[in-house]
Every structure is written in structure tokens, then in C-alpha cells.
């Protein structure tokens, strides 16, 4: 943050090769919490209705959290906000690493990219200049080569780089943006949006100190957060085993999405778990994002096969998507798949999803068993075939052969291939679902349906419904009045749980903290976040005001989608999870239904102040949050009033 | 108190909490490049290791200083920079074989660890114990405290 606690936004226009500065004062920060909140405001304002997410008019906002660069534990994250090429709707995608702190130390809080360059270009943002560099020498290089070569060419060993791999260059709609080598803003195809702008990389470096208004008070709340993290069992667990530590437990609950969500359990889950990674010597090092004492990030290397393959990760989502989803029950093959996704710049969730869809389509005879690999050969589509999975990853990144069909995501692939293949395309809003079994977790089902980006866990992560930890059970008791509602298979009180988690997530992203600290472990509370923001800015914000600001952000993002024509009809779950029962040994009828989801949606829209029929924020709701410009954008046409 | 900072690079995750705490404590702001503890990071291979001053009993930096600006604190045994006397010649940076002294080019003075009067902030915030303060129970010869030296009796700070 600027020394006065406000926000300095660097706007870059790639078409004009020009820059300008915009500033937001403290009250605006308190209104929208900085970071993601301001980024969503800028997106709504600067990117009007119907803009092509792959066109020059598209806007891409890089927003480190308001506290990024300080010692607030886990506050190193950056949210990238834009319109998703995959869904055509609002997208926020968050990355860890050190890039966000680098942008802050260069003297900027938020970077907004407008326009498109005519040639491959990189940006170098330092505290002395913003340069537009020729990136033709890096075009075609993978993420690791790009990061390595740029640091060398710029003669800046400590530069931090956010870039795209070949997949982003090829406008693959499952391409993400990578930073600090292995940290991904993966979801929603924002890498394709960057590629469409001919923007290969954004390098940041600086020596501008960050000051907080009340250093002693800020230190105290940071210390409290550190101590809470150190004392929270779930945080220790994630530090020990990484996010993939939850593979075994999820499998034991029979809620582990196996073989494209056909089953909830697999025999050899240990082989693809964080425990196996740690105990069997695949784990090389534990790593932290900037200012994070949890250190769930891994750096791993193969042992038995795919010799020499090493990379950051893998995370739960990657191991679950390739290991369980594609039936790749071999850690070495998973590590190679993870490395390929990292260096090619692919979202491992979506990439593995389209591969699962292809395997199932071949099994059901909708696509041939052998498909063209684009290099004169063929790939055999067969579950668990590591060679096929690894070949398909590269084919997707380079749009080679059948990979081109898969490269636009599973919804597009199902449309191209036809038949019943849309039924096993596990997507909604055009986004492939992340590896959570919503048929066994009803708050997740609702959160996935209402998530403006599509069905995944990083908008509202209502993990408390499982009651995994004392912290989670206490939160459920606080929000619903009784700890018995910490039960994933019931629908009662789930809308309240989802609303709280979405709000907590909006604060978390906006301040730059990690949901690992605020949501899945509940170590850092909204009250502590309010104290952090107040101490940092000198502008007093309490917990209630944090929630109100979070609701403002959620309404802005919802309004972006409403302006594009989305609403209740889009708040749905993948067909398979609505119509096919998940087999389980507990005798639970594990499936979602229109009736059950519809009832939760009604209640959720009421909590949010959104119209039950359309799912669009009511004008009165927007006005009560002080979002007049949003209300007029949605309701300016005559006859559209719905107060 | 007499003691030394001991590092365990295998435990360092590169979170930089130590640099942030150090710069806040000494500079009143978050500026990791002004920290007295430096974490060397190699992001490509996720390597990270902290570098802290060993507070040598016979400090080469103090010998190299032409104006006697590097002094030993009688209370903590810390070798510190007297910034009033430091002339910014950087001789101490050259003399330190550990590379534990850096330079504030804005103020034109050497930067080094002063053990925070015996309560080092970096030790306090390190989540993994990659930086520890080991206090000597009895002074031995000129070797450093550490797990590899059985002759030196020591207690862990915690």
C-alpha cells in the first residue's frame, strides 16, 4: 500500500504502449478492501458488456492483496481478475509465490493491462520505470525457461516473473498464468487472455519500502496470527503433508472423485497422497509463499520413472485430478504430469478433466479409441495409461491433433464431439469442476452452483461443514447455533455457511491472505483481518464492516455476470452430479437434485438480497451497499426495475 | 547472555518472515533488502537458506574497519555497527567471510545483525526453527556453537 494507506494503480495499455497512474484513497480501500475488491471494481468499470475475453478490449487486472509485502502471515497472494475465455463470465484466479510482493516493492498495488501488443511483448515494472520489452526471444519457451532466461537477460537475479507457457500463447482455454516458476493463477483460462494480448511475461522488482500506519499494533496482530497458525492442528498438517495430505481422508469418506466422478473411492489412494510424497522420498523440499509460515507448497522429484522430472507441487487438486480422475495410480507419472502442466502453463484441474472426458468418450464409443496426435502418430485413449495422459497434456498445450478439440475445455469438446458426451463433461458455466464430491457435501454443492467463476472451491470454501477440526466445529456452532449442523450430507443452514465463507474468501483475497489460513483451517479470523487492515491503514474497520465490504465485492462480481446475461439458470451443477448417484457403502443416496439445490438457492438468494427468479442482485440491495453505478448499469433500461 | 544464531538451511522454506521482522524492527518499515538477516532463495529449485552473522569472538569485520565503528556489545556479545561512526567504506563487507554484512546505500552505512539486544526478532518469527539462538552455558574456545561440536555445552533458547 502507498505510505498514506491508499492504493496506487498502474494502468498499462499494450496497444498504445502507454501507462497512467490511478489512485484510490483510504475510504475506497475500506469500501472494497483493496486487492480483489478494487480489481473487481476496475473490471466492472473498464470492461463493458459483451467484450471478447480474447480481444484487445479485454482488461486483465493483477491485484496483490492490500497487505502483500508486509509480515501479515500468508499475505503474499495475488488475485488476477478478468473475463474468462472459458466461461465468458467473471473470473478471479489467485496465485501465491513472491510476485505480488515484487509488484508492491516496485511501488504499485495493482496492475491493470489494457489493449493488445502487435508483437510478443514483456513488461518490466520497477520502481524507476515501466518498460515494454520485445519478448520474441521468449515466445515458445516454457514457463521455467522463460523465467530463467528473462532473469539472465535482464541481469536481475532477484526479479520475479509472472508469465504464460506455450498453452497461453496458443490461447488454450485451460491455460493459466504462472509466477515464481511454479505458482499458478490457473483457473478459467486467463493465460489465454494474456496470450491474446501478446503479453508473454510481467517482470517485477523494486526497492520501495512499505510502511504501515501503526507498526506496533500491526506487529501484535501479526504475532497473534502466527501463534494461531502454529497452534492450529490443520495448519501443521498442511505443513507436514501439503494440500495432498487430504487425499487419504477424502478417499476414506468415499468423497474422492475417481474416474471422472464415477466413483468416490479407490483402492490405492495412498500411492497418490501427500503422505506417500513425504514418506517415500519424493518430497525434496517444503517451500513457502511470501510471508507464509504454513508452507504447504512442495518441491518434488521423481524416483522410479521419468528420471530428472522435478517441479513445485503437486497439490491435492493435481494428484486427485490425474491420479484419481485419470486413474494414474503411480506417483512418478503424476509428478511428470504435474511438471508438464507447470512448465506448459496449464491448469492441472481442467487439463486432467478434459483428458478424463476423452477417456470416457472413447470407452463409450463417442470418440475413436485411437486419436491423431498431430505428429503423424496416434494416442490410445485408455484409463490409467500414463503415456497417453502425458502425450495428451502436450497435445493440448500445443493444440496438436485431438489436443485441439480438448484445448477449449470440456464443454466445447462435448459440443464438437456430440452424442451424449455432454453428460460426462463435468462442468458448469463452462468451467471444469475441481476435485470435490458435491454429492456428499451440500454446502459445497450450493457454493459450486453460485460461484460466479464456475464449480470450484476457491470462491467460497465451506469446509466447516465437514467439522474436521475444533476450529471448524466452533465456526458452525457460531453461525448456526448448533454443532450438529457440521454434517456434510444435510442441507439445513448450508446457505448461511456458504454466504459466510464467500465473504471470508473475499476479505482473504483482498488483503492477500491465503484461504489455507482463513478458511480451511480457520486460524486467522475476520476479526483479525479487520485488526490487520485497521493497523496497516490507520482507518478503523471492524468485523461487520469487513463483511459488508465483502458483500459489496460479491455483488459487484455477480453484477458483472448479470450484465453478461447470467443468472439463476447458470447456477447449476454438472449433469453427472445432479443425475447419477455416487456409489457408497454407507447407504447414503448421494446425488444432487433440482429440488434440493433449488431450495438452497432460494434461501441463499434471500440472504444475498438477490431476486429468487433471476438470481440477479436487486437494485435495492446494490443501493444499500452504495453500488449506485452498478445498479444503474443493470437497471438503467426502462422496465427493468426490480426494487 | 552470550550466544550465537545458528541456522539449519534444510528447514528454511523461504517465507522471509525473518527479513520482514528484522526490517520492521530496525527500519520501522517492510524492506527486506534492509534486513540484517538475508535469505538466499533460488526459486527455480525452491532452495532457500538464511545467512546470519556469527558474531565472531575475534571479528574480522572489526579489524577491517578503519574507524572502529564495529563494536562488541558487552551484554550480548553481539558485534554491531555504530552508525554514527560508520563512514560507509565497505571494508567490513569485504572482510566478512560469511557474507553477513550488507549495505544501506541510501544512508551510506553498513548493515549487520545486532542480536536485537538478546531477543532476536528473526528467531521469534521463524516458523520452522531454521534460525535459532543458542546460548552458551560455558565459554569454550574459538569455535562456534553447533550440533557438530560436542565440546561446546549449550542450551537451546527455547
Residue carrying the nine cell digits 571494508 = B91
For A324-364, what is each residue's pLDDT tens digit? 999 999 999 999 999 999 999 999 999 999 999 999 999 99
- Which of B31, B41, B44 minimises the CB distance to A209? B31
**B78-96: pLDDT as tens digits:** 999 999 999 999 999 999 9
**Given this model, what pLDDT does residue B148 score?**
42
What residues contact A380, with CB distance under 8 A and at least 6 apart? Answer: A369, A370, A388
How far CA A639 is from CA of A379, A623, A633, A642, in Å, comes to 55, 18, 14, 9
What's the DSSP call for residue A47?
Answer: S
- Please judge whether A181 and B29 are an interchain contact, meaning their C-beta atoms are less than 8 angstroms apart: no
Helices (H), A451-583: 470-480, 494-511, 515-518, 526-537, 543-563, 575-579
Chain A environment of B13 (Cβ under 8 Å): 285-288, 292, 295, 297
Instruction: Name every residue whose Cβ is closer than 8 Å to that of residue A365 and which is 6 or more positions away in sequence.
Output: none
Instruction: Specify the pLDDT at position B2.
Output: 66
Kindly state whether B103 is in contact with chain A, defined as any CB-CB distance less than 8 angstroms.
Answer: no
Contact A97, A289 (CB under 8 A): yes
**Closest in A209, A287, A295 to B30, CB measured:** A209
**B152: confidence class by pLDDT, cuts 50, 70, 90:** very low
- Confidence bin at B153 (pLDDT 50/70/90): very low
Span between the terminal Cα atoms of chain A, in Å: 37
Q: Give chain B's end-to-end CA distance (angstroms, integer).
A: 14
Q: In chain A, which residue's Cα lies nearest the Cα of B29? A: A211
In DSSP terms, which residues pair with A20 in a beta bridge?
Answer: A11
- Give mean pLDDT, residues A289-304: 97
What's the complex ipTM? Answer: 0.95
Residue from the list A211, A289, A293 with its beta carbon closest to the beta carbon of B127: A293
Per the omega criterion (within 30 degrees of 0), is the bond before A314 cis?
Answer: yes
Note the Cα A554 to chain centre separation in Å: 15
Query: Average per-residue pLDDT in chain A?
Result: 97
Q: How confident is the model at residue A317 (pLDDT cuts 50, 70, 90)?
A: very high
CB contact under 8 A, B15 and A289: yes
In chain B, % of residues over pLDDT 90: 76
Cβ neighbours of residue A50 closer than 8 Å, sequence gap 6 or more: A564
pLDDT band at A4 (very low <50, low <70, confident <90, very high): low
CATH number for the domain formed by residue range(s) B3-134: 3.30.70.20
Contact assessment for residue A386 and residue A330, using Cβ atoms and an 8 Å cutoff: yes
Do residues A409 and A189 lie in contact, with contact meaning Cβ atoms separated by under 8 Å? Answer: yes
Please check the confidence at residue B156 and state whether its pLDDT lies above 50. Answer: no
Element (H, E) at A24: strand A18-24
Q: What are phi and psi of A579, to 5 degrees?
A: -125, -20
Per CB-CB distance under 8 Å, the chain A contacts of B46 are: 182, 284-285, 287, 297, 299, 312
Q: How far is B70 from chain A (nearest CA, A)?
A: 26
- pLDDT over 90, % of chain A: 97
Q: Cβ separation of A181 and B44 shorter than 8 Å?
A: yes
CA distance B158 to chain A (A): 15
**Percent of the residues in chain A that have a pLDDT greater than 70, as a whole number:** 98
Grid cell locating A198:
501478446
Nearest-CA neighbor of A416 among A383, A367, A380? A367
Q: What domains, with CATH codes, occur in chain A?
A: 7-205 (3.60.9.10), 232-430 (1.10.569.10), 438-635 (1.10.599.10)
Backbone angles phi, psi at B114, to 5 degrees: -120, 15
The pLDDT score that the predictor gives to residue B157 is 40
The rounded distance, in Å, linking the Cα atoms of A174 and A396 is: 9
> Hey, is the C-beta of A61 within 8 angstroms of any chain B C-beta?
no
| Of A287, A268, A225, A215, nearest in space to A73 by CA | A225
The domain spans of chain B are: 3-134
Q: Which residue has the higher pLDDT, B144 or B30?
A: B30
Q: Do A288 and B43 touch (CB under 8 A)?
A: no
What residues of A are in contact with residue B45 (Cβ under 8 Å)? 284, 299, 310
Distance (Å) from the alpha carbon of B148 to chain A's nearest alpha carbon: 23
Mean predicted confidence (pLDDT) in A125-153: 98
Q: Are A432 and A354 spatial neighbours (Cβ–Cβ below 8 Å)? A: yes
Given B24, B28, B34, which is nearest A71 (Cβ)? B24
Whole-number average pLDDT of chain B: 87
pLDDT at A643 over 60: no
Burial B119-140 (b: 16+ CB within 10 A, else e): ebbbbbbbbbebbbbbebeeee
Query: Is the CB of residue A209 less than 8 Å away from at least one CB of chain B?
Result: yes
Q: In this complex, how many residue pairs, one in chain A and one in chain B, have their CB atoms less than 8 Å apart? A: 87
In this structure, the strands spanning A370-372 and A199-205 are unpaired
pLDDT, residue B3, reads 75
Of B15, B28, B44, the CB nearest to A295: B15
Show residues of chain A in contact with B17, CB under 8 Å: 71, 73, 226, 291, 293
Give which of B9, B10, B17, B48 to mutate to test A binding, by max A Cβ within 10 Å. Answer: B17
Predicted confidence at residue A438, as pLDDT, reads 97
Above 60 in pLDDT, residue B150? no
Q: Which of residues 13-52 of B touch A (CB under 8 A)?
A: 13-17, 20-21, 23-24, 27-31, 33-34, 41, 43-48
Would you call A206 an interface residue with chain B, using a CB distance cutoff of 8 Å? no
Chain centroid, CA A37 distance in Å: 15
Contacts of B20 in chain A (CB under 8 A): 70-71, 291
Which chain B positions have a beta carbon within 8 Å of A294's beta carbon?
A: 127
**Which contiguous run of DSSP H or E holds residue A426?**
none
Q: Residue A448 — φ and ψ, nearest 5°?
A: -70, -35
Residue of A nearest to B35 (CA): A209
Those residues whose C-beta lies under 8 Å from the C-beta of residue A572, and which sit 6 or more positions away, are: A428, A449, A578, A597
Long-range CB pairs of A488-494 (<8 Å, 24+ gap) are: A488/A255, A488/A440, A488/A441, A488/A442, A488/A443, A488/A444, A489/A440, A489/A441, A489/A442, A489/A588, A489/A590, A490/A442, A491/A442, A491/A596, A491/A599, A491/A600, A494/A442, A494/A443, A494/A446, A494/A462, A494/A465, A494/A600
Q: Are residues A207 and B33, on separate chains, in Cβ contact within 8 Å? A: yes
Residue of A512 and A636 predicted with greater confidence:
A512
Q: How, if at all, do strands A199-205 and A310-312 pair? A: unpaired
Report the 10 Å Cβ neighbour count for A613. 11
Find residues 111-140 of chain B whose CB sits inside 8 Å of chain A.
125, 127-128
Give tens-digit pLDDT for A460-509. Answer: 999 999 998 999 999 999 999 999 999 999 999 999 999 999 999 999 99
* Beta carbons of B21 and A69 less than 8 Å apart: no
* CB within 8 Å: B33 and A286: no
Do the bridges between strand A199-205 and strand A130-134 make them parallel or antiparallel, or are there none, so unpaired? unpaired
CB contact under 8 A, B46 and A299: yes
Q: Are B43 and A144 in contact (CB < 8 Å)? A: no
Gap between the Cα atoms of A218 and A504, Å rounded: 20
Model pLDDT, residue A267: 96
Nearest-angstrom CA–CA distance, A624 and B71: 63
Instruction: Provide the β-strand partners of residue A94.
Output: A79
Q: Which residues in chain B touch residue A286, judged by CB atoms under 8 angstroms apart?
A: 13
Give burial (CB, 10 Å; 0-12/13-18/19+) of A532. buried
Q: Span A278-294, mean pLDDT?
A: 97
Amino acid at each position: 500500500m502507498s505510505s498514506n494507506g491508499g492504493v496506487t494503480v498502474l494502468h498499462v495499455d499494450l496497444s498504445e504502449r502507454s501507462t497512467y497512474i490511478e489512485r484510490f484513497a483510504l475510504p475506497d480501500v475500506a469500501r472494497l478492501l483493496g486487492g480483489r475488491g478494487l480489481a473487481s471494481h476496475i473490471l466492472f468499470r473498464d470492461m463493458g458488456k459483451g467484450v471478447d475475453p480474447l480481444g484487445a478490449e479485454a482488461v486483465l487486472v493483477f491485484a496483490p492483496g492490500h497487505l502483500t509485502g508486509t509480515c501479515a502471515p500468508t499475505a503474499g497472494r495475488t488475485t488476477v481478475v478478468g473475463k474468462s475465455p472459458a466461461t465468458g463470465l467473471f473470473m478471479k484466479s489467485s496465485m501465491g509465490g513472491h510476485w505480488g510482493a515484487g509488484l508492491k516493492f516496485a511501488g504499485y498495488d495493482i496492475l491493470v493491462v489494457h489493449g493488445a501488443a502487435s508483437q510478443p511483448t514483456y513488461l518490466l515494472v520497477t520502481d524507476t520505470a515501466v518498460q515494454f520489452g520485445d519478448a520474441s526471444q521468449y515466445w515458445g519457451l516454457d514457463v521455467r525457461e522463460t523465467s530463467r532466461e528473462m532473469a539472465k537477460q535482464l541481469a536481475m537475479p532477484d526479479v520475479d516473473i509472472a508469465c504464460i507457457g506455450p498453452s497461453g500463447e496458443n490461447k488454450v482455454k485451460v491455460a493459466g498464468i504462472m509466477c515464481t516458476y511454479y505458482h499458478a493463477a490457473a483457473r478459467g483460462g486467463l493465460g489465454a487472455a494474456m496470450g491474446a494480448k501478446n503479453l508473454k511475461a510481467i517482470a517485477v522488482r523494486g526497492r520501495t519500502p512499505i510502511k504501515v500506519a501503526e507498526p506496533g499494533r500491526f506487529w501484535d496482530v501479526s504475532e497473534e496470527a502466527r501463534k494461531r497458525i502454529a497452534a492450529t492442528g490443520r495448519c501443521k498438517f498442511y505443513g507436514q503433508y501439503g494440500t495432498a495430505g487430504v487425499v487419504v481422508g477424502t478417499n476414506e469418506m468415499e468423497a474422492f472423485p475417481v474416474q471422472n466422478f464415477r466413483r468416490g473411492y479407490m483402492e490405492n489412494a495412498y500411492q497418490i497422497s501427500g503422505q506417500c510424497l513425504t514418506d517415500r522420498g519424493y518430497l525434496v523440499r517444503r517451500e513457502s509463499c511470501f510471508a507464509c509460515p504454513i508452507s504447504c507448497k512442495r518441491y518434488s522429484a521423481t524416483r522410479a520413472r521419468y528420471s530428472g522430472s522435478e517441479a513445485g507441487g503437486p497439490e491435492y487438486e493435481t494428484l486427485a485430478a490425474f491420479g484419481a480422475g485419470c486413474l494414474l495410480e503411480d506417483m512418478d507419472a503424476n509428478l511428470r504430469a504435474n511438471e508438464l502442466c507447470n512448465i506448459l502453463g496449464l491448469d492441472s484441474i481442467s487439463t486432467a478433466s478434459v483428458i478424463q472426458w476423452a477417456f470416457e468418450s472413447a470407452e463409450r464409443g463417442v470418440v475413436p479409441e485411437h486419436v491423431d496426435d498431430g505428429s503423424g502418430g496416434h494416442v490410445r485413449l485408455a484409463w490409467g495409461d500414463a503415456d497417453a495422459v502425458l502425450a495428451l497434456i502436450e497435445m493440448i498445450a500445443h493444440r496438436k491433433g485431438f489436443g485441439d478439440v480438448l484445448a477449449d475445455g470440456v464443454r466445447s469438446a462435448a459440443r464438437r464431439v456430440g452424442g451424449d458426451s455432454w453428460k460426462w463433461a463435468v462442468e458448469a458455466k463452462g468451467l471444469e469442476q475441481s476435485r470435490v464430491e458435491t454429492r456428499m457435501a451440500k454446502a459445497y454443492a450450493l457454493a459450486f452452483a453460485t460461484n460466479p467463476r464456475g464449480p470450484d472451491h476457491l470462491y467460497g470454501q465451506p469446509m466447516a461443514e465437514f467439522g474436521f477440526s475444533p476450529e471448524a466445529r466452533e465456526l458452525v456452532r457460531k453461525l448456526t447455533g448448533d454443532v450438529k449442523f457440521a454434517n456434510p450430507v444435510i442441507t439445513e443452514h448450508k446457505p448461511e455457511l456458504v454466504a459466510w465463507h464467500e465473504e471470508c474468501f473475499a476479505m482473504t483475497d483482498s488483503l492477500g491472505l491465503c484461504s489455507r489460513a482463513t478458511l480451511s483451517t480457520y486460524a486467522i479470523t475476520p476479526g483479525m483481518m479487520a485488526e490487520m487492515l485497521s493497523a496497516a491503514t490507520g482507518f478503523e474497520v471492524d468485523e461487520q464492516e469487513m463483511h459488508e465490504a465483502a458483500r459489496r465485492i460479491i455483488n459487484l462480481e455477480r453484477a458483472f455476470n448479470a450484465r453478461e446475461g447470467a443468472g439463476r439458470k447458470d447456477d447449476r451443477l454438472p449433469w453427472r452430479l445432479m443425475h447419477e448417484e455416487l456409489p457408497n457403502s454407507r447407504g447414503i443416496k448421494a446425488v444432487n437434485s433440482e429440488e434440493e439445490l433449488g431450495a438452497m438457492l432460494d434461501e441463499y438468494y434471500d440472504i444475498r438480497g438477490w431476486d429468487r427468479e433471476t438470481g440477479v442482485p436487486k437494485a435495492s440491495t446494490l443501493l444499500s451497499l452504495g453500488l449506485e453505478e452498478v445498479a444503474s448499469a443493470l437497471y438503467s433500461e426502462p422496465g427493468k426495475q426490480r426494487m | 547472555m552470550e550466544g550465537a544464531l545458528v541456522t539449519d538451511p534444510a528447514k528454511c522454506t523461504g517465507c522471509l518472515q525473518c527479513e520482514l521482522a528484522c526490517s520492521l524492527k530496525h527500519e520501522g518499515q517492510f524492506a527486506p533488502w534492509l534486513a540484517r538477516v538475508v535469505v538466499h532463495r533460488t526459486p527455480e529449485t525452491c532452495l532457500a537458506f538464511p545467512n546470519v552473522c556469527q558474531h565472531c569472538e575475534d571479528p574480522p569485520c572489526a579489524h577491517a574497519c578503519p574507524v572502529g565503528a564495529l563494536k562488541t556489545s558487552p551484554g550480548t556479545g553481539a558485534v554491531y555497527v555504530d552508525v554514527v561512526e560508520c563512514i560507509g567504506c565497505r571494508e567490513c563487507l569485504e572482510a566478512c567471510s560469511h557474507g553477513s554484512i550488507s549495505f544501506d546505500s541510501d544512508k551510506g552505512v553498513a548493515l549487520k545483525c545486532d542480536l536485537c539486544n538478546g531477543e532476536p526478532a528473526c528467531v521469534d518469527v521463524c516458523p520452522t526453527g531454521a534460525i535459532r539462538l543458542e546460548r552458551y552455558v560455558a565459554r569454550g574456545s574459538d569455535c562456534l556453537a553447533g550440533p557438530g561440536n560436542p565440546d561446546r555445552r549449550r542450551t537451546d533458547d527455547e
